[in-house]
């Protein structure tokens, strides 16, 4: 049986340059540091990850990633950096490229994103530990409870009279638009953008998670995913709160 210290555990951070909501979001300054710098430095403190790579399509991003301690083996092909490009594709491409060009194949891949800067190193390690303690586990995902339950989602549909009407997203019922206390719903969770998986799973299941998926739950405030300028403001205020209370985030 291979020792944990002998495992190749690679962290991979995707950072394409084409963000529409906030141009160049992944390198925008957050509390005096490029956004991507936060997750790189957090990943490098992991007691399990022994290589951190960044997949990006722009040399400017690559230079910033390297300055914060990540490895950028190559620039991602443009066809893998479009708005609708699946994340699975760039992760698989990186694994294949490294094996072909360096003879390096990780045993475990930990996919992370720059947009969740409050992620703690302990959260990343906890996900990896779910794989280490059960060889049958395909992956482990860091999750947080949904701030708004998905069953409360609404949408606009054609009302048959040339206009639109409001219905629930799942049942298309107008009557169920009436608010229901959240306590009546079973808890729902969203990914907090850390997925640890066995490399073999990527190729055997054409996914980053496979079938046997474990989890690690974190507080909502550490799972904020930056998508717009307001999120930058919120995260900076949370950072001030954590630092003032000497709350460990790493």
Tell me the per-residue pLDDT of 62-80, one tens digit each, with 9 for 90 and over.
999 999 999 999 999 988 8
Q: Are residues 196 and 75 in the same domain?
A: yes
Are 9 and 101 members of one domain? Answer: yes
Q: Residue 247's pLDDT is what?
A: 42
pTM metric for this prediction: 0.89
Look at the block and give the residue holding tokens 């936060």.
38
Q: In this predicted model, which residue has the larger pLDDT, 243 or 55?
A: 55
For residues 84 and 172, state if they share a domain: no
84 and 22 within one domain:
yes
Confidence of residue 246 (pLDDT cuts 50, 70, 90): very low
Pair 76, 170 in one domain: no
The CATH number assigned to the domain holding 9 equals 3.90.550.10
**168 and 78 inside one domain:** no
Domain co-membership, 86 together with 200: yes
For residue 225, what are the domain limits? Answer: 4-145+187-244
Per-residue confidence band for 248, with pLDDT thresholds at 50, 70 and 90: very low
Q: Which two structure tokens, joined as six digits, stand for 79?
A: 């066809």
In the sheet with 139-145, reading across from the earlier edge strand, the strands are 51-55, 9-14, 108-113, 189-198, 139-145, 213-217
**Which pLDDT belongs to residue 122?**
97
Q: Are 107 and 199 in contact (CB under 8 A)?
A: yes
Count structural domains, the chain: 2
Residue 250 has pLDDT above 80, yes or no: no
Q: What is the pLDDT of residue 81?
A: 80
Note the pLDDT of residue 17.
Answer: 86
Angle at the Cα of 66 from the Cα atoms of 194 and 105, rounded to 5 degrees: 55
CA–CA gap between residue 247 and residue 6 (Å, rounded): 33
DSSP count for the chain of H helices, then E strands:
6, 10
Residue 250 lies in a domain: no
Same domain for 178 and 225? no
pLDDT in tens, 146-204: 988 898 899 999 999 999 999 999 988 999 899 887 778 889 999 999 999 999 999 99
Q: Which residues of 188-225 are buried (b: 16+ CB within 10 A; e: fewer)?
A: eebbbbbbbbbbebbeeeebbbbeebbbbebeeebbbb
Does 197 fall in a domain? yes
Alpha helix (H) residue ranges in the chain: 35-44, 59-67, 87-102, 121-132, 199-205, 229-244
Does residue 163 sit within a domain?
A: yes
Out of 129, 160, 182, a domain closes at 182
Residue 249 lies in a domain: no
| Residue 51, helix vs strand vs coil | strand
Same domain, 103 and 172: no
């Amino acid at each position: 049986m291979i020792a944990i210290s002998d495992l190749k555990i690679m962290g991979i951070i995707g950072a394409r340059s084409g963000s529409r909501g906030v141009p160049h979001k992944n390198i925008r300054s957050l509390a005096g540091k490029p956004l991507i710098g936060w997750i790189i430095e957090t990943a490098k403190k992991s007691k399990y990850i022994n290589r951190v790579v960044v997949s990006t399509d722009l040399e400017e991003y690559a230079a910033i990633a390297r300055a914060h301690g990540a490895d950028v083996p190559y620039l991602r092909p443009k066809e893998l950096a479009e708005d609708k490009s699946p994340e699975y594709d760039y992760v698989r491409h990186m694994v294949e490229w490294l094996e072909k060009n360096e003879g390096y194949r990780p045993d475990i891949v930990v996919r992370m994103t720059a947009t969740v800067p409050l992620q703690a190193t302990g959260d990343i390690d906890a996900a990896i530990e779910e794989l280490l303690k059960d060889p049958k586990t395909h992956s482990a995902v860091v999750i947080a409870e949904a701030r708004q339950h998905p069953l409360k989602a609404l949408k606009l549909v054609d009302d048959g009279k040339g206009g639109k009407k409001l219905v629930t997203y799942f049942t298309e019922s107008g009557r169920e638009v009436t608010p229901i206390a959240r306590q009546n719903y079973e808890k729902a969770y969203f990914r907090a953008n850390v997925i640890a998986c066995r490399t073999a799973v990527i190729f055997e299941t054409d996914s980053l998670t496979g079938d046997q998926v474990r989890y690690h739950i974190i507080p909502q405030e550490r799972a904020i995913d930056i998508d717009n300028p307001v999120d930058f403001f919120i995260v900076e205020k949370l950072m001030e709160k954590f630092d003032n209370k000497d709350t460990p985030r790493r």
